[in-house]
Structures are given as C-alpha cells and as structure tokens.
Amino acid sequence: MALWELDGVAVAAQIANGEVSAREVTEATLARMDAVNPAINAVVARDDAAALAAADEVDMARGRGEALASMAGVPVTIKENVDQAGCATTNGLRIQRNLIAETDNPVVANLRRAGAVIVGRTNTPAFSLRWFTRNSLHGHTKNPHNARITPGGSSGGAASATAAGIGAVGHGTDIGGSIRYPAYACGLQGIRPTLGRVAAWNGSSPDRHIGAQLMAVSGPHARSVRDVRVSLEVMAQPDLRDPWHVSAPMNGPEYPRRAALCVAPEGLNTHPLVEQALRDAAARLIDAGWKVDEVESPPFRAPARCQAQLWLAEMARGAQAAFAQEDDPDAIHVLAEMHKLTAVPDLNGVLDAMQARLGFLREWQLFFEKYPVLICPNSAEPPFPDLLDLEDFPRVMEAQLTQVGLPLMGLPGMSVFTGFGESEMGQVPLGAQLISGRYREDILLDAAEVIEARGEAIAVVTP
C-alpha cells in the first residue's frame, strides 16, 4: 500500500518503528493532494513548508530516542471554521477571508501535541449551514466516490479529503449532522462526540449564543474505527478555555451487549437501501453475540423543531446582517427555506425550547438504560443528488430528521460505513447511525468495530 493509503494507527506504528519517516509520509500525502484535490476541491488552504517542518520535528524526536505521542507523524486536515494560528478562519465566507487566527483552537492544539501533521484546511459551505459543500469564496467540493452526489456538509471538505487519501483523519464539526452526514455520504467512519467531550474555542470571534454552545461539537472522520478512537481521545484532552469541557473517562462501566433497531423513527419514509444497511448492521451485531430488538425510538421530531428554532433565534440576533453582507446565493436560499418551515421564536419560544430540552434528554437517557445503543438512519435517503436543497429543501430537511433531532440533547452519534448500493445516482456509500448515552462514545466505537470487522474495509478512492 502507498503511504497515503494507510490509516493513522498504521502510519504512527511504522514511524515509531523506524520503517518510514514522518517526512516521507507527509511528502506522500502532499503529493496525493496534488494528484486528486483538483478534482474534488476538498482542501482549500495549505502550508507545505509548515507541514514538512512538523514532520521533521517528529523525526528528530525519534532520532533522540524520545517516546512518540499517539498520532506522531499522522497527516490530518482541519476544517476552515476553527482557529489555526496564522490561518484564516473563513467559515466559507468572503467577509472572513482576512480573519487570521492568532491562537490554535483547543482541537488543533491537542492534535499538534499528539504529533499530528496538519497538511491542509478543508472546505465548508458558507456559514457551515448546509449538508452540501459550496461557497462563493472557495467554490464547490465534490464527492470522490461519485461527483453526482453530495460529499455532505458542512464538513464536506474534511470527508472528501479523507476518503480520497488526503490525510488519515479529517477534523469536522457537527451542530446538525455536519460530521455524521459527510461520513455517510463519503463512505467513512465519523463520530459526533457528547457535548463537552472535546474542548473548542475560537479566539478570533465572539463566543456563540446558547443554542450553538449546547449543540456544536468537534470530532473526527477516518477510514477506520481505530483511527476514530485514537483521534477522539487526542481531541478530548482538557483545555480550560472551554467552560463546557468535561474530563469524563473515555471508557465507561461495563454494559450489556444489547441494541435497539429503529428503521423509521416517527414515521420517517426510509428508503429500501437505507433499511437494508440498517438491518445489515444489526445482523453483524447479532453475529457477534449482541441482542437486537426492533423498537420505537425516543423523539426526534420535537427536538428537531426546537433545534431549528434556536438556530433561527440566533440568526435573528445579528447573523442576518452577515448573510446580507456575504450575499452567498446558496446560503440566502437555505435561510429563506428555513424561515418557511419554522418561525423565528420570541423570548418565550426560546425559553420553552430550553425547558423542553431537559425532558427530551431525560427520555433518551432512560431509553439507553435498557438499550445502550440505538441503530437508526443517518438519513432517510441514500446520499442526496448534489445541491438538492436548492431544488427541494423540504425533502432534504425531512430526510435529515435524525441528523437535526439529535444535537439538541448533546448526545453522541456515529456514522458507521456498511458498504455500497446502487441508487438512481449510481453506486453510493451506505451506512447506519449509532446513538448512545452521554459520554459513552466507547459503546459506539465498540459496536462500530463489530460492524466494521464483518464488512468490507474502507479503501481510499481516486476521483
């Protein structure tokens, strides 16, 4: 295998053993970027000299006989909506092209401390708002598996890059599916951690309002579950700059190997290919000795409505002016469609949403007492035709019920790859979403490893 085909665990092991140097891995990854990125436009900013210098530091540390950190020499990418010192935190916006960060976001700082080599920054839609990735600053990101389908969003650049071999791990953020859905669309493993698991803070911008504070998280995309496990542990190291951070153990108490399967939460019109993927995931768990019951899930629809209300309430506070100034046609369209579906709440509406959140979370936590993990759709449909939200936003929003409904409660969710299927768009990746209780990412990763071990391995794709 070429060095850019290896997962991060294999790369770190080969570097630690002296089989390859970190510089060789970085040079191979940068060459891979040169070869494939023009076709997918996933990485939109890079500093090759800085990447090679970081790799050289790893090699010098090994040469001195020092013990290497868990991701030493592993190539990673960073989404353009988090601060990386010396780089623009654009969030896909022309109006932020000169917003240069002075300090690293805690996620970036933790990756650097673990020896990871940042090879580039990845594209996101304007305001990181869509499940598709195009903006007026950097242009259109494509799915390396199939250019007719979305790479997902808003971390579409991260997932597209990782799937195409530009780095072993891609950093993403998730407030309404922006890690889980790109992982699904690009055939990867991707986890949305519990609120507070991964510290995050952008010194380049004011603190966000309460809705985003409660729902937005950072997490990894990767081509193997073991890479997700290692990179999540690295990202989750403490940082006092984020008051929401909780230094919870990465592994919780022992739990029964019992899962719930819900194919059509609250009447969701689940596509047959999606149902097939869900039942396949359940069958693999059963094969490993898990007990799986088909049941109704806790609520998604009411939490999704509260989620949308909090989004709009925050946009009404001041983001509307930024939307007008940026004047990105896609973002303007999506915002208008959101207004059609949900009215901007008044103060009482926001307070009611916050009150309801507690009850929803209680109901979900009681559910996980019986079923440590829920298997449900990432989306009601296979990966969408690209830019479908510009043609039929209500269809997209309905299909994404489980993406939007989950973050309100701050719960962790994981997209796990199950294989490929033939849709009207041609061959597309498929997968299942796994959900568990707060700070029980270990359960999601355990279940995902079982599913991964009984399916086809994720291979790098050349667009």
pLDDT tops 80 at residue 345: yes
In this structure, the number of other CB atoms found within 10 A of the CB of residue 287 comes to 12
Looking at 10-24, 141-155, 167-181, 338-352, which range is the least confident one? 338-352
pLDDT digits (tens, 9 = 90+) for 325-337: 999 999 999 999 9
The amino acid that residue 32 corresponds to is: R
Which pLDDT value is given to residue 343?
Answer: 86
Are β-strands 169-174 and 217-222 bridged in parallel, bridged antiparallel, or unpaired? antiparallel
Model pLDDT, residue 320: 84
Amino acid code (one letter) for 66: E
* pLDDT tens string 404-462: 999 999 999 999 999 999 999 999 999 999 999 999 999 999 999 999 999 999 999 99
Residue 448 sits at φ, ψ, to 5 deg, of -65, -35
Range 206-216 average pLDDT: 95
Host H or E run for residue 176: none
Cα 360 from Cα 303, distance rounded (Å): 7
Q: What is the mean pLDDT of residues 302-317?
A: 91
**Token pair for residue 405?**
């409904």
Are the C-beta atoms of residues 158 and 412 closer than 8 Å to each other? no
Higher pLDDT, 339 or 226: 226
Q: How far is the CA of 400 from the CAs of 96, 170, 191, 397, 403, in angstroms?
A: 29, 22, 16, 5, 5
The confidence score (pLDDT) of residue 157 equals 99
Q: Residue 78: what residue type? A: I
Torsion angles phi and psi, residue 405, rounded to 5: -70, -25
**Residue 314, pLDDT score:** 85
- Do residues 245 and 199 touch, judged by C-beta distance below 8 A? yes
pLDDT tens digits, one per residue of 378-395: 999 999 999 999 999 999
**pLDDT value, residue 317:** 83
Rounded distance, CA 97 to CA 87, Å? 9
What distances in angstroms separate CA 443 from CA 183, 259, 395, one per listed residue? 19, 10, 32
Tokens of 289: 């000795």
Question: What is the average pLDDT value for the chain, to the nearest integer?
Answer: 97
Nearest to 75 by CA among 39, 122, 143: 122
pLDDT, tens digit, for every residue of 140-193?
A: 999 999 999 999 999 999 999 999 999 999 999 999 999 999 999 999 999 999
Put simply, whether the predicted model's pTM sits higher than 0.95 gets the answer yes
What whole-number distance in Å separates Cα of residue 137 and Cα of residue 29?
25
Query: What's the helix, strand, coil split of the chain in %, to 5?
Result: 45, 15, 40
Cβ contacts of residue 17 below 8 Å, gap of 6+? none
Instruction: Give which of 454, 14, 441, 463 is closest to 230, Cα–Cα.
Output: 441
Domains and CATH numbers, the chain: 3-453 (3.90.1300.10)
Decide if pLDDT at 318 tops 90: no
Decide: helix, strand or coil at residue 303: helix
pLDDT band at 286 (very low <50, low <70, confident <90, very high): very high
Q: Which two tokens stand for residue 85?
A: 């010192």
* 201, pLDDT greater than 80: yes
Contact 132, 125 (CB under 8 A): yes
Residue 342 has a pLDDT of: 87
Rounded Cα–Cα distance for residues 275 and 197 (Å): 31
Does the N-terminal peptide bond of residue 154 adopt cis geometry, omega within 30 degrees of 0? yes
Q: Which residues are part of the catalytic machinery?
A: 79, 154, 178
